[in-house]
């Protein structure tokens, strides 16, 4: 009897403790948000800083740190300094999940920037939605914002628009039969689907579509198969180092047709790795890579040149469009906070949906309740590689 | 399928197979003297290639490769002295687990010393697009380098193990460590030597394949897995067989791609490995009786 009483008492004590701590937790962040005007805003960031997708994550992290430092030295947004919590997911969706939970439940961030890859973003889409935390993804896949989740946004241009620009260029060149190769990760799979879906619209036949391992070190076998179909062009859709391999291997097996790549090719490092084989590659991309040669009338030029110079002086490496996605994510977030004049998550979210004509690195953002990306097809410029450098494509 | 295409698949298989083979050779040396599988072998390749890539900025390519091989050889020796030799009651399993730990350690070190980007050495002859034509199909010149270097390594290794006193001592340790010790062989140094040798060969392999595969800090593990598969396929400890098995696996994968979607390639490779483990556990090219004697 006595033991039972002690047991009941124990349960009651524990119950109270849970209740108290629970009570403490729920109003906590709200209270700090509304009362202390100048309290720092916590913003989480999940980037694939290391691992196979480090091409994306590393420049994103550096850009985010640079952006936040600039905002904070200028006195913050409406007096709020930003506290950036960067986490490295290594490009692994499972890791992204636990990092997102940590940022939402423990750090109680207002928003999460990233993740870098589509696979990771899809893995945490629901977690952010349920946790009522704004997610500004730096990954490209369309499914991130389709169907719309009220708290989920993305800054890179749409996959489908990239596919459209590729097909438009092909049509222009009189190409009608193509081979498609994609990597077996979120980006590659989503891209492959978009290409298959849109090809009939442009009267283009995909004669063969193959998937390769994202860690592949040689693709001559897959490309030999593509060659056997007598295609007029090859499209490679991936973000991994294999992008340089495709270019090299095509030349090595004598597959002398134009190579189209996705916007994942927008990093000069891939061109360097591809050597002279990379020359002539055609791909849709944001205007950052050709910022210097844009006409002065282009509304993005000033921002692009400044971002590029800032990044390159600070980190001594070439700026890439991927870093730009993180720039845009933070730009949209800070603009929304300014517009909402609040750091309340619901108000900032509403403000995000109302942003119009924001000039970013990826294009001009016009967000709405039905469009959580806000970029149009013309955000892409068709680029090519000339003598180891990016240039605007001309027929 | 027309003839040129079949040749092209074959050449593609040889390209991949030559890479597998040269990785597999490194596994065999350490296995021969200690009976353990060194799972850090892939990392030796990465360290070797990365060192060479850094060195090419100050010295010509051949010197850079030589330097990288020497540096990695020393690293291999240090790894053995610091980690493997200190283990008391070293069972094979324990040592294997240590090498797995080592591979993680080295990988992270490479990430911090260099960076997360892929790098590569220049093509030894010609450029990325220079090829030779064989029967209407094409193959990169670098593949010939890989095959040539593999051949040189295998020959040199065989001669070394068979005809030099040190080589014979190493083989003696592998056969019966106690007996070798009774004959005055310093068995501990033989183990160190085998680590140095396999690190050096790994570094050389890493350099030769770098123009084809590109070198990234985390490519060691996937390469090692394929190399390990090939080493088992050929029969552990037999370098000549490893080269044959590497080419066999490469060709198999290439022809699988020709008939099935490319994503099934790995599946077929694993199925082959499993069936060989079940049907011929001592490897494709080992004679059953000798391996039975060895394990007895």
Contact A207, A179 (CB under 8 A): yes
Q: Quick one: pLDDT at residue A114?
A: 86
Using the beta-carbon criterion (under 8 Å), do B129 and A252 form an inter-chain contact?
yes
Chain A interface test: which of B8, B145, B226 (most A C-beta within 10 Å): B8
Chain A interface test: which of B205, B211, B227, B257 (most A C-beta within 10 Å): B257
pLDDT for A282 beyond 50: yes
Q: Quick one: pLDDT at residue A18?
A: 46
- Residue A82: which H helix or E strand, with range? strand A82-88
Q: Quick one: pLDDT at residue A346?
A: 94
In this prediction, residue A4 has a pLDDT band, given cuts at 50, 70 and 90, of low
CA proximity to A210, closest of A236, A247, A241: A236
CA proximity to A36, closest of A347, A342, A352, A349: A342
Using the beta-carbon criterion (under 8 Å), do A224 and B12 form an inter-chain contact?
yes
Chain A residue whose CA is closest to B218: A51
pLDDT for A379 beyond 70: yes
- Containing structural domain, residue B228: 3-292
Chain B residue whose CA is closest to A267: B117
Contact B36, B191 (CB under 8 A): no
User: How many domains does chain B divide into?
Assistant: 1
pLDDT for B296 beyond 60: no
Chain B interface test: which of A215, A219, A220, A246 (most B C-beta within 10 Å): A220
Three-state DSSP at A99 gives helix
Buried-state track A293-328, b at ≥16 Cβ within 10 A, e below 16: ebeeeeebbebbeebbebbeeebebbbbbbbbbbbb
Using the beta-carbon criterion (under 8 Å), do A276 and B265 form an inter-chain contact?
no
Provide, as residue numbers in chain B, all residues whose Cβ is less than 8 Å from the Cβ of A212: 262-263
Using the beta-carbon criterion (under 8 Å), do B128 and A54 form an inter-chain contact?
no
Q: Quick one: pLDDT at residue A328?
A: 96
Provide, as residue numbers in chain B, all residues whose Cβ is less than 8 Å from the Cβ of A387: none
Chain A: closest CA distance from residue B126 (Å): 11
- HEC states along B41-82? HHHHHHHHHHHHHHHCCCCCHHHHHHHHHHHHHHHHHHHHHH
Using the beta-carbon criterion (under 8 Å), do B15 and A227 form an inter-chain contact?
no
Contact A257, A208 (CB under 8 A): no
Q: Which whole number is the average pLDDT over A128-150?
A: 92
pLDDT for B289 beyond 50: no
pLDDT for B294 beyond 70: no
Provide, as residue numbers in chain A, all residues whose Cβ is less than 8 Å from the Cβ of B219: 215, 217
Provide, as residue numbers in chain B, all residues whose Cβ is less than 8 Å from the Cβ of A215: 219, 222
Chain B: closest CA distance from residue A282 (Å): 18
- Among A122-126, A146-150, B170-174, B218-222, the minimum mean pLDDT is found in B170-174
What's the sign of the alpha-carbon dihedral B292, B293, B295, B296?
positive
Buried-state track A96-131, b at ≥16 Cβ within 10 A, e below 16: bbebbeebbeeebbbbbbbbbbbbbbbbbbebbeeb
CATH of the domain at B156: 1.10.3470
Residues from B contacting A (CB-CB < 8 Å) are 1, 5, 8-9, 11-13, 15-16, 19, 111, 115-120, 127-129, 131, 137-140, 209, 212-214, 216, 218-219, 222-223, 253-254, 257-258, 261-263, 265-266
Residue whose tokens read 């979607």: B261
Chain A residue whose CA is closest to B259: A225
Chain A interface test: which of B21, B45, B109, B129 (most A C-beta within 10 Å): B129
Chain A residue whose CA is closest to B222: A215
pLDDT for A59 beyond 80: yes
Q: Which whole number is the average pLDDT over B77-85?
A: 91
Instruction: Give the model confidence (pLDDT) of B120-140 as tens digits.
Output: 899 998 887 788 888 888 888
Question: Measured between CB atoms, which of A184, A227, A276 is closest to B128?
Answer: A276
Using the beta-carbon criterion (under 8 Å), do A254 and B131 form an inter-chain contact?
yes
Chain A: closest CA distance from residue B254 (Å): 5
Buried-state track B138-153, b at ≥16 Cβ within 10 A, e below 16: bbbbbbebbbebbeeb
Chain B interface test: which of A47, A225, A269 (most B C-beta within 10 Å): A225
Using the beta-carbon criterion (under 8 Å), do A252 and B140 form an inter-chain contact?
yes
Question: Measured between CB atoms, which of B129, B209, B258 is closest to A225?
Answer: B258
Instruction: Give the model confidence (pLDDT) of A237-250 as tens digits.
Output: 998 788 999 999 99
pLDDT for B214 beyond 60: yes
What is the rounded CA–CA span in Å between residue B190 and residue B196?
10
pLDDT for A35 beyond 50: no
Pairs across A and B, CB distance < 8 A: 116
Bridge partners of residue A32, in order along the sequence: none
Provide, as residue numbers in chain B, all residues whose Cβ is less than 8 Å from the Cβ of A55: 116-117
Provide, as residue numbers in chain A, all residues whose Cβ is less than 8 Å from the Cβ of B257: 221-222, 224-225
Provide, as residue numbers in chain A, all residues whose Cβ is less than 8 Å from the Cβ of B131: 251-254
String of DSSP letters for chain B: --HHHHHHHHHHHHHHHHHHHHHHHHHHHHHHHHS---TTHHHHHHHHHHHHHHHTTTS-HHHHHHHHHHHHHHHHHHHIIIIITT-TT--HHHHHHHHHHHHHHHHHHHHHHS-SS-B-PPPSSS-TT-EEEETTEEEEHHHHHHHHHHHHHHHHHHHHHHHSHHHHHHHHHHH-HHHHHHTT--HHHHHHHHHHHHHHHHHHHHHHHHHHH-B-TT-HHHHHHHHHHHHHHH-TT-HHHHHHHHHHHHHHHHHHHHHS-GGGHHHHHHHHHHHHHHH-TT-SSS-HHHHHHHH-
Provide, as residue numbers in chain A, all residues whose Cβ is less than 8 Å from the Cβ of B128: 248, 251-252, 274-277
Question: What was the ipTM of the complex prediction?
Answer: 0.83
Using the beta-carbon criterion (under 8 Å), do A51 and B138 form an inter-chain contact?
no
Using the beta-carbon criterion (under 8 Å), do A224 and B9 form an inter-chain contact?
yes
pLDDT for A143 beyond 70: yes
What is the rounded CA–CA span in Å between residue B205 and residue B125?
16
Chain A: closest CA distance from residue B215 (Å): 9
Q: Which whole number is the average pLDDT over B88-94?
A: 79
Using the beta-carbon criterion (under 8 Å), do B12 and A248 form an inter-chain contact?
no
Structure tokens, A299: 């509304």
pLDDT for A88 beyond 50: yes
Question: Measured between CB atoms, which of B118, B216, B262 is closest to A222?
Answer: B262
**Mean pLDDT of all residues in chain B?**
87
Contact B24, B228 (CB under 8 A): yes
Contact A169, A382 (CB under 8 A): yes
CA A301 remoteness from chain centre: 21
Structure tokens, B108: 């992270």
Q: Which whole number is the average pLDDT over A211-220?
A: 87
pLDDT for A177 beyond 70: yes
In this prediction, residue A97 has a pLDDT band, given cuts at 50, 70 and 90, of very high
pLDDT for A182 beyond 50: yes
Using the beta-carbon criterion (under 8 Å), do A211 and B262 form an inter-chain contact?
yes
Structure tokens, B228: 């390990």
Burial of A338 (0-12, 13-18, 19+ CB in 10 A): middle
Chain A residue whose CA is closest to B110: A50
Structure tokens, A380: 């892409």
């Amino acid at each position: 009897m006595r033991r039972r009483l002690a047991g009941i008492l124990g349960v009651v004590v524990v119950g109270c403790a849970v209740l108290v701590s629970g009570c403490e937790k729920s109003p906590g962040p709200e209270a700090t948000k509304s009362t202390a005007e100048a309290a720092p805003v916590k913003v989480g960031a999940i980037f694939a800083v290391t691992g196979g997708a480090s091409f994306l994550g590393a420049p994103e992290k550096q850009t985010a740190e640079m952006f936040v430092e600039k905002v904070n030295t200028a006195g913050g947004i409406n007096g709020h300094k930003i506290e950036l919590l960067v986490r490295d997911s290594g490009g692994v969706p499972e890791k992204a999940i636990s990092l997102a939970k940590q940022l939402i439940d423990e750090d109680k961030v207002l928003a999460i920037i990233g993740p870098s890859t589509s696979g990771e973003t899809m893995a945490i889409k629901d977690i952010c939605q349920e946790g009522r935390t704004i997610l500004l993804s730096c990954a490209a896949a369309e499914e991130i914002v389709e169907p719309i989740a009220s708290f989920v946004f993305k800054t890179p241009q749409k996959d489908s628009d990239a596919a459209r620009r590729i097909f438009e260029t092909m049509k222009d060149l009189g190409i009608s039969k193509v081979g498609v190769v994609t990597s077996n990760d979120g980006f590659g799979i989503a891209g492959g689907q978009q290409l298959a879906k849109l090809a009939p619209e442009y009267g283009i036949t995909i004669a063969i579509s193959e998937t390769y391992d994202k860690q592949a070190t040689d693709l001559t076998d897959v490309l030999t198969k593509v060659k056997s179909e007598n295609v007029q062009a090859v499209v490679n859709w991936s973000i991994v180092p294999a992008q340089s391999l495709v270019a090299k291997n095509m030349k090595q097996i004598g597959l002398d047709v134009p190579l189209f790549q996705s916007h994942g090719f927008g990093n000069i490092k891939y061109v360097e790795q591809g050597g002279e084989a990379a020359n002539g590659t055609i791909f849709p991309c944001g205007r950052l890579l050709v910022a210097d040669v844009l006409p002065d009338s282009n509304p993005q030029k000033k921002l692009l040149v400044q971002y590029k110079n800032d990044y390159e002086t600070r980190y001594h490496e070439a700026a890439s469009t991927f870093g730009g996605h993180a720039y845009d994510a933070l730009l949209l977030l800070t603009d929304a906070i300014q517009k909402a004049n609040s750091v309340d998550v619901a108000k900032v979210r509403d403000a995000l949906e109302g942003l119009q004509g924001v000039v970013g690195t990826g294009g001009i953002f016009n967000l709405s309740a039905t469009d959580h990306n806000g970029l149009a097809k013309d955000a892409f410029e068709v680029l090519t590689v000339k003598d180891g450098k990016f240039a605007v494509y001309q027929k | 399928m027309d003839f040129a295409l079949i040749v092209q698949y074959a050449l593609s298989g040889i390209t991949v197979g030559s890479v597998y083979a040269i990785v597999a050779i490194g596994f065999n040396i350490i296995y021969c003297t200690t009976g353990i599988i060194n799972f850090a072998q892939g990392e030796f390749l990465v360290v070797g290639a990365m060192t060479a890539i850094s060195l090419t900025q100050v010295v010509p390519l051949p010197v850079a490769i030589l330097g990288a091989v020497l540096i990695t050889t020393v690293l291999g020796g240090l790894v053995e002295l610091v980690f493997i030799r200190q283990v008391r009651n070293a069972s094979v399993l324990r040592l294997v687990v240590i090498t797995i730990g080592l591979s993680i350690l080295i990988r992270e070190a490479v990430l911090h010393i260099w960076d997360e980007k892929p790098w590569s050495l220049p093509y030894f002859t010609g450029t990325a697009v220079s090829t030779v034509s064989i029967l209407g199909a094409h193959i990169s010149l670098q593949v010939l380098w890989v095959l040539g270097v593999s051949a040189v390594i295998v020959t040199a290794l065989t001669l070394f193990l068979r005809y030099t006193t040190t080589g014979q001592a190493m083989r003696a340790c592998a056969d019966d460590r106690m007996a070798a010790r009774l004959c005055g062989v310093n068995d501990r140094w033989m183990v160190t030597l085998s680590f140095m040798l396999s690190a050096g060969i790994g570094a050389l392999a890493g350099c030769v394949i770098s123009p084809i595969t590109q070198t990234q800090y985390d490519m060691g593990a996937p390469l090692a897995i394929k190399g390990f598969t090939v080493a088992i396929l050929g029969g552990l400890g037999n370098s000549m067989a490893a080269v044959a098995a590497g080419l066999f696996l490469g060709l198999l994968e290439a022809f699988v791609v020709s008939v099935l979607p490319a994503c099934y390639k790995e599946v077929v490779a694993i199925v082959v490995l499993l069936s060989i483990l079940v049907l011929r556990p001592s490897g494709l090219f080992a004679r059953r009786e000798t391996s039975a004697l060895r394990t007895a």
